[in-house]
Structure 1
Amino acid sequence: MSIKTLGAKIFAKHIRKKINKWASNPVITQKRVFDNLINSASNTAFGKDHDFASIKNHDDFIKKVPVRDYEQLRPYVDRVVKGENDVLWPGKPIYFAKTSGTTSGVKYIPLTSDSMPTHIRAARNAILCYVEESKRAAFVDGKMIFLQGSPELVEKNGINLGRLSGIVAHYVPKYLQKNRLPSWETNCIDDWETKVDAVVEETVNENMTIISGIPPWVQMYFEKLKKKTDKPIGELFKNFELFIYGGVNFEPYKATFEKLIGRKVASIELYPASEGFFAFQDKQNEKGMLLQLDSGMFYEFIKADEYFEENSKRLTIGEVEVGVNYVMLISSNAGLWSYNIGDTVMFTGTSPYRLVVSGRIKHFISAFGEHVIGKEVEQAIKEATEATGMTIKEFTVAPQINPEDSELPYHEWFVEFQETPQNIDNFAIEIDNSLRKQNTYYDDLIVGNVLRTLKVRSVPKDGFNLYMKSIGKLGGQNKLPRLSNDRKIVDSLGISIGK
């Protein structure tokens, strides 16, 4: 056993004890975070505008601080971007994480000297929890790859600006620097396909033990490796032990990954975002990710089906229930206050608090009142692939409101299969049956002849990659929305694949 392996095991045990301490005291932990946030920001422009000095508890906070999204917080963010001090958080941010919003254009999310370490600790602790649970740590002696955006940064009014994944690349611990791939030069390549080709060349003969990235882009990397070597990934990388992912649900890709790898590999799910590192999978056999209650973020939750109602109730961690779909709000030591990150979450347990990401509050289909959400379509595609043995690369769903030939409207699924499907109709039936079991509103519309059963369209090979490339979002942390309440994506998709 190497010194690094032994050290990882000892450190993992220490970190697990610290996590257990705050996780077993969730309400007290969040109260402490809340008080620290309010006290720290009381003399900022935002704190003065919202009378933080008078806030003693969550009820006071609700009265003083309304729920905001990026556009509503933007007047304050713009002041920070211009270089003003003490606006949302004391001093200035050390970075802006640049993201692309669907309605706001480019968004600049502040990262402060207080918030940045929480991103790094959460990523580290996710791996350490796996080490402590599995008692395996030899993989720390192998090579690790993190498929991410370019680490190159630009300066904006004295503050460095870049993609979150690129910023994080500057914080790789020294003891991992020799193990980390790809090279800095390769990581700086902008064109995603060119970058993946370069990553293949750099890693094909290495002892890869950890591979991390968003599933569709890691899948592209695996496919290129297999094409080059004609070997399963598990044979090529004999010591490959851990796949770390986030951003999208892994389940629709799982069968394809196992086929490409040739064996099962342990995985860790992460829930990072520019606004904060919210949760990670801390147990291999527990459903959901451990919510990070001690990471400088105070959480509020609103039931998703009440979110657009006036005066919808804002709940704290001690008030949430398992199995309910919530919109998650955060207040953080990066200067975000009752900020709607856009995600919906569902708790799988409360001792400790674990959750899954159920979708996006703006990504759903409810053209007829059915309100189908991301969690439901991902579960449906999982059940359909298991029942039929088909494997997929990517999919998205949209309503067909005005079909030809005066037939009933329906949900239209655009699916890129790994191999040409033998019987697409059976696949569609399995999806439809799953959705009807999960969503009673959808089932009622089918039974009532308001909707007909869904249709599946087969997307040609690389059709989704061509679409993402056409809108400048191929690779990195970019994700294809699983479902939409209109046909903007699928109409553009049709153009990009030459329909």
Structure 2
Amino acid sequence: MSVKSIAAKIFAKFVVNRMNRWASNPLKTQQKVFKNLIKTAQNTTFGKDHHFSKIASYQDFANFVPIRDYEDLKPYIDKVVAGQSDILWPGKPLYFAKTSGTTSGAKYIPLTKESMPSHTNAARNAILSYIHETGNADFVDGKMIFLQGSPEMTEKNGIKLGRLSGIVAHYVPGYLQKNRLPSWEVNCIDDWETKVDAIVAETKDQNMTLISGIPSWVQMYFERLKKSTGKEVGELFKNFELFIYGGVNYEPYRKKFEQLIGRKVPSIELYPASEGFFAFQNKQNDKGMLLQLDSGMFFEFVKADEFFSENPQRLTIGDVQTGVNYVLLVSSNAGLWAYNVGDTLMFTSVKPYKIIVSGRIKHFISAFGEHVIGKEVEYAMKEAMESFHCTVTEFTVAPQTDPLPGELPFHEWFIEFEDEPENLQQMAIKLDEAMQNQNSYYKDLIEGKVLQPLKIKSLPKQSFQNFMKLQGKLGGQNKVPRLSNDRTIADGLYKLLG
């Protein structure tokens, strides 16, 4: 055992004990965060506009500060982007994390001196939690790869601008730098396919022990490793011991990963976003992720079923229940206030507070009132894959509201198989059964002959990669939405098929 791994175990014990202290006092922890945020920001433009000096309770805050998404907050962000100080948070942000927008084009999410530690420390603590739980620290002596966006940044009115993953790359601790891959030069390559090939060339002869990234793009890396070397990833990297992922549910990819690796590898799920590093998996036998209540973020929740009502009820951490689908709101030391992150989540535990991400509030299907969410289609796919012993590379689901004459509308599942089952129709029946078992609205629509059972459209290999490439979204932090409430993605996939 190396000095480095011994030190990692000692540090892991210290960090986990500190985490346990705030996790065991969740209400007090969040109240302390709330008071600090309001006090610090009361003299900002936003604080003055929303009477922060008069806020003495959470109810005051809820009365004075409405729920906002990016479009609603944009007038303030535009002032920050223009170089003005003390708008959303004292001073100016250190960075803007640039993300893909909708109606406003590019989105600029501020990152401040106070908020950056939440991004860097949470990822570190996720690894330390694993070390403390398992006692396994040998991987710290090997090479680690983080598949991410380019760390190169530009400037906008004196504030650095880049992708979140690229910004965080500047904060890798010194003790990890010599173990970290890819090299700076390779990491700066813009074209994703060129970058992956360069990463393969740079890593295939190394002792890779930890690999991290969004599953769909790590899968592409693994496939190209296998093509280049003719070896399974686990044979090539004999000491590969830990896979860290975030952004999407790993379960639909797990079987394919185990085939590419040739064995099972422990994994840790993270929940990072430009708006904050919200949660991470801290126990191997528990899929729930520990909500980061002590990281400069005050959380609110709205039941997803009520979110689009005129005056939805806002809840704090003490009001939530397990098994309910909530929309996540965050106020933070980056200058976001009652901000709709766009994600939906469910609590798996309230002692401590642990969550799973169930989908996106804008990524759902309710063309007929069925309220289908991402968690439901992913669970149905997992059931079907296990039943039919098949492997799925990627999939998405869209409503077909304009079927052929004489047909009822239906949900269309676009699936790219690694190995297709012999009977697609039987798999469609299994998927539909799993959906009806989970979603009573969907079941009622099927039984009431409003919808016909779902249909599968099998896609050729590389279809989703080709689609994302055409959208300019190949690689990095981009991912294919599991659900759409319209036919935009579906029509794009059909266009690819000719």
TM over 0.5, yes or no? yes
**What is the SS of the residue equivalent to 1:362?**
coil
Q: 1:263 and 1:298 mapped to 2: Cα distance?
A: 40
Q: 2:22 and 2:121 mapped to 1: Cα distance?
A: 15
- What is the CA deviation profile of residues 333-370 of structure 1, one whole-angstrom value per residue up to 9, with x for unaligned ones? 00000000000010000000000000111111111111
**1:133 aligns to what?**
133
Say if 2:388 and 2:421, in contact at 8 Å, map to a contact too.
Answer: no
Q: 1:94: Cα distance to partner?
A: 0.3
2:455 aligned partner, one-letter code: K
**What is the SS of the residue equivalent to 2:249?**
coil
Q: 1:469: Cα distance to partner?
A: 0.5
**1:58 aligns to what?**
58
**TM-score calculated relative to the size of structure 1:** 0.99
- What is the CA deviation profile of residues 208-233 of structure 1, one whole-angstrom value per residue up to 9, with x for unaligned ones? 00000000000000011111111111
2:462 aligned partner, one-letter code: D
**TM-score calculated relative to the size of structure 2:** 0.99
- What is the CA deviation profile of residues 149-208 of structure 1, one whole-angstrom value per residue up to 9, with x for unaligned ones? 000000100000000000000001000000000000110111101100000000000000
**1:299 aligns to what?**
299
Q: 1:38: Cα distance to partner?
A: 0.2
Q: How does 1:149-298 map to 2 (within 5 A)?
A: 149-298=149-298
**2:75 aligns to what?**
75
**1:31 aligns to what?**
31
Q: 1:103: Cα distance to partner?
A: 2.9
**1:6 aligns to what?**
6
**2:491 aligns to what?**
491
- What is the CA deviation profile of residues 285-312 of structure 1, one whole-angstrom value per residue up to 9, with x for unaligned ones? 1131000000000000000000111221
Q: 2:214 and 2:430 mapped to 1: Cα distance?
A: 27
Q: 2:365 and 2:60 mapped to 1: Cα distance?
A: 36
- What is the CA deviation profile of residues 80-99 of structure 1, one whole-angstrom value per residue up to 9, with x for unaligned ones? 00000000000000000000
**2:147 aligns to what?**
147
Q: 1:262 and 1:427 mapped to 2: Cα distance?
A: 26
Q: How does 1:37-56 map to 2 (within 5 A)?
A: 37-56=37-56
**What is the SS of the residue equivalent to 2:419?**
coil
**What is the SS of the residue equivalent to 1:295?**
coil
Q: 1:70: Cα distance to partner?
A: 0.2
Note the aligned Cα RMSD (angstroms).
0.7
Say if 2:389 and 2:421, in contact at 8 Å, map to a contact too.
Answer: no
**What is the SS of the residue equivalent to 1:258?**
helix
2:185 aligned partner, one-letter code: E
**What is the SS of the residue equivalent to 2:456?**
strand
2:469 aligned with 1:469, yes or no?
A: yes
Q: How does 1:105-116 map to 2 (within 5 A)?
A: 105-116=105-116
**What is the SS of the residue equivalent to 1:344?**
strand
1:94 aligned partner, one-letter code: L
Q: 2:366 and 2:308 mapped to 1: Cα distance?
A: 14
Q: 1:195 and 1:290 mapped to 2: Cα distance?
A: 33
Q: 1:464 and 1:422 mapped to 2: Cα distance?
A: 22
Q: 2:360 and 2:466 mapped to 1: Cα distance?
A: 24
**What is the SS of the residue equivalent to 2:224?**
helix
**2:427 aligns to what?**
427
1:417 aligned partner, one-letter code: F
**What is the SS of the residue equivalent to 1:411?**
strand
Q: 2:329 and 2:431 mapped to 1: Cα distance?
A: 32
Q: 1:493: Cα distance to partner?
A: 1.6
Q: 1:51 and 1:368 mapped to 2: Cα distance?
A: 42
**What is the SS of the residue equivalent to 1:380?**
helix
Q: 1:422: Cα distance to partner?
A: 1.9
**2:85 aligns to what?**
85
**1:417 aligns to what?**
417
**1:457 aligns to what?**
457
**2:391 aligns to what?**
391
Q: 1:420: Cα distance to partner?
A: 3.6
Q: 2:90 and 2:446 mapped to 1: Cα distance?
A: 55
1:482 aligned partner, one-letter code: R
**1:336 aligns to what?**
336
Q: 1:116: Cα distance to partner?
A: 0.6
Structure 1: runs of 5 or more not aligned: none
2:31 aligned partner, one-letter code: K
Q: 1:404: Cα distance to partner?
A: 1.1
**What is the SS of the residue equivalent to 1:78?**
helix
1:321 aligned partner, one-letter code: Q
1:129 aligned partner, one-letter code: S
Q: How does 1:298-377 map to 2 (within 5 A)?
A: 298-377=298-377
**What is the SS of the residue equivalent to 2:497?**
coil
Q: 1:419: Cα distance to partner?
A: 2.2
Q: 1:320 and 1:362 mapped to 2: Cα distance?
A: 22
- What is the CA deviation profile of residues 257-305 of structure 1, one whole-angstrom value per residue up to 9, with x for unaligned ones? 0111111100000000000000000000113100000000000000000
1:279 aligned partner, one-letter code: A
1:454 aligned partner, one-letter code: L
**What is the SS of the residue equivalent to 2:12?**
helix
**What is the SS of the residue equivalent to 1:458?**
strand
Q: 1:33 and 1:340 mapped to 2: Cα distance?
A: 18
Q: 1:269 and 1:79 mapped to 2: Cα distance?
A: 35
Instruction: Answer with 268-277 or 220-229: which moved more.
Output: 220-229
Q: 1:379: Cα distance to partner?
A: 0.5
2:497 aligned partner, one-letter code: G
Q: 2:178 and 2:118 mapped to 1: Cα distance?
A: 23
Instruction: Answer with 397-406 or 53-62: which moved more.
Output: 397-406
Structure 2: runs of 5 or more not aligned: none
Q: 1:448: Cα distance to partner?
A: 1.1
**1:102 aligns to what?**
102
